[in-house]
Amino acid sequence: MGLREVVDDTLALALPPRCPGCGAVVRGDHRFCATCWDSLDFIGAPWCATCCTPFEVDRGADAQCGACLANPPIHAGARAAVAYGEVAKTVALRLKYGGRLAFATTAARLMARHLPGDADLLVPVPLHRWRLWGRGYNQAALIADALSSRSGVIHDPLVLRRTRRTPALRGMNPRQRRDAVRAAFVVSRRLEGEHVVLVDDVYTSGATTDACTRVLLKAGAGRVTVLCWARVVGDTSD
């Protein structure tokens, strides 16, 4: 056994991998314990062909939800690895506020299956510069970078910029949310026909990602698909 193997084994004993959900010791990095894994609600087909809202039963590949039939979204689908629940929330909050930067890779590993095969560019939802300086990092950019490493799709965190601070959207009605983020984003360059994947940690009402999508399409993007770690299904008040 070489020196490196000895060091790795020693570190594994001293700092064993832990479940991102509960902190229990697990067999490898980015793995969940059996209890947390079983509690994750993975999202996939059957879902709305337009917005990717999950269906309880299969309605057919081209089926749309009522909301999309009434008011089609401007994005090409809002995909997420899991539904928002206690474990998904814990991972998101520890990444966002707890400095657990490795959880970006944890999220990306489970999001990668929903990355469109024809994606040209990964663009994270940006933070305002004051919030970025205060936190020290943008969790969406960390996830996008991890996705890029796994997929080879280009990640450009400078394409989209937030020009002003926006208030927390929790507790606002849909119109107030749209007004809060209107004209809050700008694009730094033209995106001639590119399929842009807009990356974020949690998708709730879609107000922020819709505002980002509008400016990306205005800058020439051919399509914008939203890809997140977790998606609130049903109640969007959180």
Assess if residue 29 is contained within a domain: yes
**Count of domains forming the chain:** 2
- Rounded to an integer, what distance in angstroms lies between the CA atom of residue 46 and that of residue 173? 28
Q: Are 27 and 83 in a shared domain?
A: no
| pTM listed for this prediction | 0.89
pLDDT at 167: 67
110 inside domain: yes
**Is 101 domain-assigned?**
yes
Per-residue model confidence as pLDDT tens digits over 46-92: 999 999 999 989 998 899 999 999 999 999 999 999 999 999 999 99
4 lies in the same domain as 112: no
Residues 6+ apart with CB under 8 A from 170: 237, 238
CATH number of the domain enclosing 168: 3.40.50
> Which regions in the chain score pLDDT beneath 50?
1, 3, 6-11, 236-238
Instruction: Burial-class residue 79 by CB neighbours within 10 Å (0-12, 13-18, 19+).
Output: buried
Do 86 and 201 fall into the same domain? yes
Query: Does residue 31 sit within a domain?
Result: yes
Q: Are residues 16 and 114 in the same domain?
A: no
What does the angle CA 68 – CA 74 – CA 79 come to, to the nearest 5 degrees? 75
Identify the domain containing residue 156 by its residue range: 72-231
The answer to the question of residue 63 being in a domain is no
Q: What pLDDT does 205 receive?
A: 87
Burial class (CB in 10 A: 0-12, 13-18, 19+), 13: exposed
Would strands 185-187 and 160-162 be described as parallel, antiparallel, or unpaired? antiparallel
pLDDT at 169: 72
Coil, strand, or helix at residue 112?
A: helix
